[in-house]
Structures are given as structure tokens and as C-alpha cells.
A = this chain, B = another copy of it.
């Protein structure tokens, strides 16, 4: 922690800060410049005194306080420099030298639609099945998902195709139930800072797909992972799905720089959702190629037998044919990267 003082700070005020630092277990190293005094605090990781930074900022003679240490520990690269491979259902790896493709409908609508999609994506080479049984809808009048019936359909599709299932859980009261049917829990973008939910999935040992909040900086996203990991569940996969910006031509702005950046900062695998990220099926294949070229460990793709009849997100869903084409193009990029797929 570095505390920048106002020009006006008196020796007594500087001493006041030094004492407070020392009470908190830090050593204070003041540097007296021409125009400002700066105090470096050494000796205790910043995150152990979370209110401290703001307390200093509350002093009228303090200009600003700068945090030097990253606030995450378990999610940090240093915790496992070789990188984490998250294993799902004892048969699919996310991370390492492998590009993992999760595909399926935005929403489980019917048994037929889900099974048909599961078969098609399996045949095209996908490794996991995605599909929503609990749907976060902007409107309370929209379809909210089939709930437990949807989970059962997903489990049936898994039984038939062998594809492990990832599906969203929104309510901490449903975590146990969803664990019973699904192989991987998805935390949606709107719930990235739903701390009670994060704590609840942190109690399980199910792999978690943690989507980035559409408003979240990368450090905040890693802190959400930290919540889950602190509970003992280290099977976290990050998912970049676009952030909210002024651009309206796409539904979100897919921030692919987050991929190599997260790889530098963290040991956790990171996958990309180009369907949500762009909101337009005609951009999904290009952004899938780009995501893998940026170093992503996988993709999660919305596929529907008839996007023009989908109950949700038809505009960003691929047809089976388009998904097959995507797989071929992404495989070429994965190979150029020296990765398997």
C-alpha cells in the first residue's frame, strides 16, 4: 500500500499515518519529495486490512491510496504457476493443451429439441453439452426455464451422448439440486457478484464455469473466483462473455484481451462465449476462431435445430450446419496453435 499525501500534510499528520500503519502490523517508509510526501507500507499483505485503504482516504490530507498487491491469492498465477486443468465428469479436461468445445441450446425447451441438438453437436465433435434449465430473463413475463424438468432432459441427453452437462444455477437454494443432474455449474454474468451463491457453489466440489460480469474488471472477476476457491472448490473455469460498452452493433463487446491477460494473472483455465459476446450468429464463427487464436482453453456455443423458432436467443444461435462449419474452422486454428481439439 502506498499513501500519497497532500502538500499540506504536517509532520504530525505524517506521524499519525505511520502510527496507524504500525498498529496494523505494517512498517511505514515515508519518502519526502519536493511537492508531496509518499508513505510506503511494507510487511503485511494489503488484503488483510480491507477497510484500511479507505480509512486513509477519509483523511482530508491524504490525496490517494494505491494498492500494490493483487487482492486474490488462490486465483493468482503464483498459487499454481504450471496452470490448472479442470476435469469434468472424469472424462473431459479444460485447460492444458486441449481446446474444449461446449455446445447446445441456449434454453432447454423440449426433450426433442435438446436431444437432437446434443446428438448434432456430439457428432460435430463437441466435448460437452450446454443448456439452460433456469433462465435469467430481463422480463418477468418471459420464459424462465423448465427447472427440474429441464435438468432431467439434460441428464437424458448426457446418458445418450456421453457428453457431460454444464447448466446455470441462479439460486443458492438450488445448488444441491443442480449438482444432482449436472456435471458443471454455470454462474451467469448477472450473478458474478452474488456472493451467497458463490459461497454455496464453493461448498461443493463440482466444476464451476464462472462467467464474467458484464460490468466487471478482470481483478473483480478473479475475486469472484477467489470466493468460490476460498470455500474449498478449486475447480473454477473462467468464461469471458463480453462486457458492456457504448457500442450497440453487438450485444456486448467481447474482450478477447482478457484471455491472454488472465493467463498471465491466474492459473485458472479461461473459455470464451462468442454467442453471448456478440449476440449475432453471423459473428460467432469468426470470434470463435479469434478466441482460440488468443489462447482460450475452450468455447461455449449456442446451437439450435431451428434458431428461427428458439424460445430464447435465436439471433445468436447457430444451426447444426453452421456449427459443423465452425468446428472445422476452429480446429484449423487450434492446430495452428499446436493444440488438440
Contacts and interface: CB of A to CB of B under 8 A. Distances in A.
A293 B289 contact: yes
A116 interface: no
24 contacts: A2-B38, A31-B40, A35-B45, A35-B69, A47-B142, A50-B142, A56-B308, A58-B307, A71-B141, A171-B172, A172-B172, A173-B196, A190-B193, A190-B194, A244-B244, A245-B253, A250-B257, A254-B257, A256-B290, A257-B283, A257-B287, A260-B283, A290-B290, A293-B294
Nearest to A69: B35
Protomer copies: 4
Contact of A33 (B43, B144, B314): B43
Contacts of A144: 195
A226 B139 contact: yes
A60 B40 CA distance: 23
Contact of A260 (B42, B136, B223, B286): B286
A58 B245 contact: no
Size class of the contact patch on chain A: 35 or more
Nearest to A31: B40
A84 interface: no
Contacts of A227: 140
A129 interface: no
Contacts of A219: 249
B43 A308 contact: no
Interface stretch (A120-128, A152-160, A176-184, A209-217): A209-217
Nearest to A219: B249
Contacts of A286: 259-260, 293-295
Interface in A87-138: 136-138
A166 interface: no
A235 interface: no
Given A223-B138, A291-B290, A315-B58, A217 B249 contact: yes
Contact of A68 (B36, B195, B218, B332): B36
Interface in A233-261: 243-250, 253-257, 259-261
A333 interface: yes
A23 to B, nearest CB: 11
A281 interface: yes
A264 interface: yes
Nearest to A141: B47
Contact of A143 (B50, B194, B287): B50
Contact of A243 (B69, B142, B245): B245
A124 to B, nearest CB: 19
Given A245-B243, A257-B250, A283-B260, A311 B195 contact: no
A317 interface: yes
Interface string A297-341: 000000000011111111111000000000000001101110000
